[in-house]
A = this chain, B = another copy of it.
């Protein structure tokens, strides 16, 4: 019986899960993958500490011990971060090793370069786990939906923010309180910036857009806006309008170029993405043949992420068996422009406070009108202190025109405060 030796870089949450899952499936691997799979080495920072999680004899703190071991055919990179992960992967591919990675930061930044290296050396380089954890999305986009012209990929791809928004929505909490709960439960990190400001989701959008549209989109091409300014009140008004607020990663392929952005958005409560609660993830795809499709599941966590990594590993082992490694590589054969956020179009939800005085609504409306922004819906509630809270939803308008209107509005003396601006699907 053939045997494939693999090394795991990193024994954190995901690395531990991968090791555990490979142990659990050990006896059935020959039938599932066509060969035994043996974890030969695990790269760790602290071997003493790591010995709690895996056999001490497998642990090493020395990358050279792994890269110089020619019996190891597959490297599983689950250490995260740009470096040294990037250098290790590049070195591994150049040495003819196949690589599985769960590293969204790295792939969003250097995916093209790494895929190129894989191609040059006839290697598989797979990274299903880098987007939406356990949910199969990259392989379905690359293979199952390969007959489609994909026009939209839209997802809830950050579990932390979805958990926070669910708490705010179901329990009326404010952002800071919901964040504190998320931190307490381990859903959010002590420094939650990457999650709550949409950076993590932005990296996933870059990866998905590149694959779906066959054109490289880097992280720096993605506009990101987080959820820290969303209030419980916005969610309440959204409900009145029949909507939920979600942090969406949006990638669209339009005639004028690719749109790649992350921001909170009002979506109709009947939309399949609206029912995605707590820390679950989901990716909604629209293609010219398949129409609407959605992929839902656990976007993070030890075992769900390990599921994606081990799925990729089994694919590589099969490819080795059949002599077809490199079969699914980079699919970016186009070079499409990426639109600036100001050139995208959207509908907008605006919540503002203005003096409760005759003619105020008219002057607000005229500023919108002068900038080509038409108003689709309006809710006005008077407060006790002589101010009115006004919620407006616009029709579709180019972002730059909308921003012009906002700038003028902000300067008006009757406007006390523009509290929220949120895009509407």
Residues of B within 8 A of A314 (CB): 143, 146-147
Task: Give complex CA distance A272, B273 in Å.
Answer: 10
Query: Which stretch, A133-141, A193-201, A246-254, touches the partner chain B?
Result: A133-141
Per the bound structure, the CA–CA distance linking A112 and B311 in Å amounts to: 24
Interface size on A, residues (CB 8 A): 59
Q: Is A24 an interface residue (CB 8 A)?
A: yes
Q: Are B304 and A290 in contact (CB under 8 A)?
A: yes
Contact status B146-A136, CB under 8 Å: no
How near does chain B come to A93, taking the closest CB pair, in angstroms?
18
Asked if residues A306 and B147 are in contact (CB atoms below 8 Å), the reply is yes
Docked-complex contact A297 and B294, CB < 8 angstroms: yes
- Whether a CB of chain B sits under 8 angstroms from the CB of A359 is no
Instruction: Tell me which of B296, B313, B333 contacts A294 (CB under 8 A).
Output: B296
A128: B residues at CB distance < 8 A: 144
Chain A residues 368 to 395 lying within 8 A of chain B, measured CB to CB, are: none
Q: Interface residues of A: mostly helix, strand, loop or mixed?
A: mixed
> Chain B's nearest CB lies how many Å from the CB of A162?
14
Q: Which residues from chain B contact A326 at a C-beta distance below 8 Å?
A: 322
When the two chains form the complex, which single residue of B311, B323, B331, B333 contacts A323, counting CB atoms closer than 8 Å?
B323
Q: Which residue of B lies closest to A37 (CB)?
A: B147
B-chain residues with CB within 8 Å of residue A291 when the two chains form the complex: 134, 297-298, 301, 303-304
* Given A135-B290, A147-B310, A318-B327, 20 other A-B residues pairs in contact with their CB atoms under 8 A: A24-B288, A25-B149, A32-B214, A33-B146, A134-B291, A135-B293, A136-B140, A144-B308, A146-B315, A270-B277, A289-B304, A289-B310, A290-B307, A290-B308, A291-B301, A291-B304, A293-B297, A295-B295, A319-B327, A322-B326
What 8 pairs between A and B have smallest CB-CB spacing? Answer: A147-B310, A136-B144, A293-B297, A324-B324, A289-B307, A322-B324, A294-B296, A290-B307
